Amino acid sequence: MPNQLIRKYANEPIWAVVGASNNPRKYGNRIYKTLRTAGYTVYAINNRESEVEGDTAYASLLDLPQPPTVVDMVVPPYQALEVVQQAKEAGAKAIWFQPGAEDAEAIRWAKANGLDVVEDCILVQHVQSPKGEIVG
């Protein structure tokens, strides 16, 4: 099932990156730029910045102009449960945990509340399939 979820959600066009950053050394920046460059509609979520890479940054998933299908988590595990609950309220369908962002309680809550969960690095998926559909 994990590969099926990777295939299903890696190609979804509307994402939010929670933990998006202006710091090019941080994964939140790399992921945000990679998805944007690949043509995704991607929203930056950062409660300390008003812009990320020249785009509007939103303080919360609940502030977005449309529901993201996928919420990419680039936050410390202790923040994960709150973000997952917010993602559900915002209308997301899946939570994509980047390595290091996983939290067992948040994963259990997400699954129990009807969200699909992917634990994988979206950057690796794009490196493996840079010019077409990601096949997982």
pLDDT tens, residue by residue, 76-132: 999 999 999 999 999 999 999 999 999 999 999 999 999 999 998 888 766 555 444
- CATH class of the structural domain 2-128: alpha beta
- Whole-number pLDDT of residue 136: 45
Contacts of 93 (CB under 8 A, 6+ apart): 9, 12, 69, 70, 115, 116
Per-chain mean pLDDT for the chain: 91
Give dist(CA 15, CA 35) in Å, integer. 8
| In the chain, where the domains are located | 2-128
Closest CA to 75 of 116, 120, 20: 20
Residues above pLDDT 70, as percent of the chain: 90
- Whole-number pLDDT of residue 11: 86
What's the sign of the alpha-carbon dihedral 105, 110, 113, 117? negative
- Whole-number pLDDT of residue 126: 61
Q: How would residue 7 be classed by pLDDT, with cut points 50, 70 and 90?
A: confident
What's the sign of the alpha-carbon dihedral 13, 17, 22, 27? negative
Say what the pTM is. 0.91
